Amino acid sequence: MALLKYTFSRTVRGVVSVFVIVTIAFFAIRLVPGDPVDVWLGDYATPELIAQTTQAWGLDKPLVVQYFVFLRQLAKGDLGTSLRANASVTYLIGEVFPYTVRLMIAGAVLSVFFGVLVGAFAAVRHNSFGDVASMTACMIFLSIPGFVLGYLLIYLFAVTWRIFPVIGGEKALSAAALWRHLTLPALSLGLGYAGTIARMTRSTMVEVLNSDYIRTARSKGLRQSTIVFKHAMRNTLTSLVSMIGVQIIVMLGGLVVTETVFSRPGLGRLYFTAVSARDYPLMQGSILVIAVCVVVVTFLVDISYGIIDPRIQYT
């Protein structure tokens, strides 16, 4: 019951947050220098064509009127029509969003898996050669820009060894297609974040491994893996989960680079194209979807606290 009430309250807060973000975005993107009509017409512009296009796109109306038109469309579930493509924003986003979701999930799973594993290993081998080597590797992955890592992965795994393709997204949802098309982009997106998670896991776990209850577990003769993954990990997870949530949100920002380098369809590239063209409806639609993603991820992270630590109450 408490969870249900909490979910309802968070949903209301989420909707309000998204509304505020979208409203700010609506006005902010129009403050950015540059006019979509100018971009569209370029050197073909004539005063008559500028006037015609401005009117046809509804940009001649006062800003407040444009805002209410946008809200009215939004209430009907219509994100409007892309100015350049003259296609429904919902259609354009719908075509690429599944690719983004799959990449985000793969990147997040990969970064958490490697991050936690390496962090736990370094904590257990605290101050050993293994600890220093794994943390150095983490620093390297953290420092390499996403596009450099992407090109490196393509050069090694696609061009030299021909294990994965250089370009494209997964057309089918078979395990083989996902493996072929997601592995390199997910590695490129996730490895840097894996480094952050590993460092965080290590520092938290080193502290936990020195606590009294772990000493007790050791004195009882429990195996190292049981101590680490059953007893120590649970107490590490609370702080880790909040950071993973933040990392996933930050990961959204890395999408443009990853999608461009691997020539994958996705929301990041779509948004970048929209900004370049000052395609207001497409920018608004993309921002709305990203805002919803952030709200959902934050909500899931908050919910997971209670699952990890039953002492935490939903209020």
The residues of the shown chain that bind another protein, judged by CB under 8 A, are 33-35, 38-47, 49, 52-53, 56, 84-87, 92, 95-96, 99, 151, 154-155, 158-159, 162, 165-169, 259-261, 263-266, 269-270, 273, 276-278
Q: Which helix H or strand E contains 157, and what residues bound it?
A: none
Shortest CB 147 distance to another protein, Å: 9
Taking the complex as a whole, the smallest distance from the CB of residue 287 to another protein amounts, in Å, to 17
Contact predicate 41/50, CB 8 Å: yes
Query: How far is residue 233's CA from residue 216's CA, in Å, rounded to a whole number?
Result: 16
- What minimum distance in Å lies between the beta carbon of 177 and another protein? 14
How far is residue 5's CA from residue 313's CA, in Å, rounded to a whole number? 12
Please state the closest distance from residue 178 (CB atom) to another protein, in A. Answer: 16
Can you spell out the DSSP letters for 248-283? HHHHHHTHHHHHHHTT---HHHHHHHHHHHT-HHHH
Nearest to 202 by CA among 239, 175, 168, 169: 239
CB of residue 279 to another protein, shortest distance in Å: 10
Q: Measured from the CB atom, is 21 or 184 closer to another protein?
A: 184
The structure tokens listed for 174 are 């078979």
Report the C-alpha gap between 135 and 74 in whole angstroms.
47
Which residue, 20 or 32, is less far from another protein as judged by CB? 32
CA distance 279 to 266: 17
CB of 208 or CB of 255, closer to another protein: 255
**Residue 46, amino acid:** T
Nearest to 288 by CA among 89, 98, 35: 89
CB of 252 to another protein, least distance (A): 16
Q: What number of other Cβ atoms are within 10 A of residue 181's Cβ? A: 24
Nearer to another protein, 56 or 250 (CB): 56
Quote the least distance from Cβ 73 to another protein, whole Å: 16
Q: Which is nearer to another protein, 237 or 282 (CB)?
A: 282
Neighbours of 27 (CB within 10 A): 12
Measured from the CB atom, the residue of 121 and 164 that comes closer to another protein is 164
Nearer to another protein, 112 or 255 (CB): 255
Report which secondary-structure segment, H or E, holds 65: helix 63-75
Letter for the amino acid at 275? V
Give the residue with the Cβ less far from another protein, 95 or 309.
Answer: 95
- Please say whether the beta carbons of 297 and 249 come within 8 A: yes
Q: Dihedral sign for Cα 33, 39, 41, 44, please.
A: positive
CB of 191 to another protein, least distance (A): 19
